[in-house]
Amino acid sequence: MDSREKNRKFAQALGVKFPILSDEQKAVSREYGVLMPLLRLARRTTFVIGKGGVIQHIDSGGGAVDPSGALEVCALPQRK
C-alpha cells in the first residue's frame, strides 16, 4: 500500500531487482484477503509470485517484516 517511490527506495535498499507492488487503491489487498476493512489497512503480508502467476511463498505478520524469506525463495530455481 506504500507509494511507488517508497517501494522503489525499499527495493533499492535491499538490492533486489524484482518488482514490489504499490497498492495505493487497496484493490490487490482486498483481492488477496489481507485488507482490514475497518482500518482500511492491509495486514503486513509478502507474496512471492512466480512468472506464471502462481504464488510461490507467503510471509505474514512478523515474517513479512523481514524480507529474507522472500529473498531466499526468489533465489531458488523457478518452479512451475
| pLDDT tens by residue, 14-53 | 887 777 888 889 999 999 999 998 888 888 888 888 888 8
How many domains, in total, are found in the chain?
1
pLDDT at residue 79, as a whole number: 56
Domain that holds residue 46: 4-75
**Burial 9-39, CB ≥16 within 10 A → b, else e:** eeeeeeeeeeebeebeeeeebeebebbeeee
Residue 80 in any domain: the answer is: no
Residue 30 in any domain: the answer is: yes
Q: Is 57 within 8 Å of 50 (Cβ atoms)?
A: no
For the chain, give the mean pLDDT. Answer: 83
pLDDT at residue 78, as a whole number: 62
Residue 33 in any domain: the answer is: yes
Q: Is 46 within 8 Å of 70 (Cβ atoms)?
A: yes
End-to-end CA distance of the chain, in Å? 28
Residue 80 in this model has a pLDDT that exceeds 60: no
Residue 61 in any domain: the answer is: yes
pLDDT at residue 62, as a whole number: 75
